[in-house]
Amino acid sequence: MKLKLAILLPLLFSFLTPAFASIQVMGTRVIFNAKEKEQSVRINNVGDAPALIQVWIDSRRESSVEDKENLPFIINPPIARVNKGKGKVLRIFPTDETASKYPQDRETMLWINILDIPPESENAADKNLMNIAVRTRLKFFYRPAGLKGELLTASENVAWTTQKTATGYKVTGSNNSPYYISFASLKIAGQEDTILQGDVIEPFSSKVFEFKNIKNSTAPVLKYTFITDLGAFVNKELKL
């Protein structure tokens, strides 16, 4: 039976035509300043059919669709239909418990989840279609009022130290600020195999980035790209 199932499943899916979701999120991150009454996220339906979306916030770096949490934010609307070619604004509000839930001396990083559920085709019964619900996750930074400094300055002032290893380097970034420092990428110049994608250094913390298999680099240069509040990429270089 197991052998038959293993043969039948690839045959079944080879005849299916996937129908992909079509919700486009405008932005890559959300900064919620505590002094503001609300924040918003705009989404657009760039597909050729209506879509149903479900939106929620969670605190886990990795989570499933079933992992729902009761966090002190209200999203309006939490469920919505978005017609083709149309957009919708998702509004996010704090509750009375928000300030007491999170530290007030630093940012907290959460996640916005937007689940795009494509509708079934009217002629689905006559076609081999596989509808796929696609979830988009955006970093959501809750920023208490009164934090010292600003993200751009903090990102430019990360303190770096280097340790030589048998095969490369361990580079430690120290963030002495209340902000999350977000990186799009880090690499050793001229050595494309060393690229590290997407990471953060938490507030008042350090993080080690390990670069392995460095080839013939007597004066290595660290090239990294950090991300601003507006989602802009800023490139920097550092001689190790």
Dist. CA 65–CA 218, nearest whole Å: 47
Percent above pLDDT 70 for the chain: 85
Contact 21, 50 (CB under 8 A): no
Residue 21 has pLDDT above 60, yes or no: no
- pLDDT tens for each residue of 159-198: 999 988 888 889 999 999 999 999 999 998 888 778 998 8
Token pair belonging to 112: 């916005």
What is the predicted pLDDT for the residue at 66?
Answer: 78
> CA-CA distance, 39 to 23, in Å (whole number)?
19
Tell me how far apart the alpha carbons of residues 22 and 45 are, in angstroms, rounded to a whole number. Answer: 6
pLDDT of residue 7: 38
Confidence of residue 52 (pLDDT cuts 50, 70, 90): very high
Please report, for residues 2, 51, 101, 109, the alpha-carbon distance to residue 194 in angstroms, rounded to integers and kept in the order given.
42, 40, 39, 27
Residue 143, number of CB atoms within 10 A of its CB: 21
What is the bridge-based pairing of β-strands 51-58 and 108-117? antiparallel
Structural domains of the chain, ranges and CATH numbers in brackets: 17-143 (2.60.40.10), 151-239 (2.60.40.10)
pTM across the whole model: 0.83
Count of C-beta atoms within a 10 Å radius of residue 23: 22
Q: Which helix (H) or strand (E) holds 185?
A: strand 181-188
Note the pLDDT of residue 8.
38
On the question of pLDDT at 20 being above 60, the answer is: no
Cβ atoms within 10 Å of 88's Cβ, excluding its own:
18
pLDDT in tens, 92-138: 999 999 999 999 999 999 999 999 887 766 655 555 555 677 888 99
Q: What is the mean pLDDT of residues 9-37?
A: 69
Q: Across the chain, what does the average pLDDT equal?
A: 85
Confidence of residue 2 (pLDDT cuts 50, 70, 90): very low
User: Is residue 88 over pLDDT 50?
Assistant: yes
Amino acid, single-letter form, for residue 78: P
Cβ pair 81, 88 in contact under 8 A: no
Which residue, 65, 51, 55, is CA-closest to 21? 51
Pick from 78, 106, 104, 76: nearest CA to 91:
76
* Per-residue model confidence (pLDDT) at position 97: 95
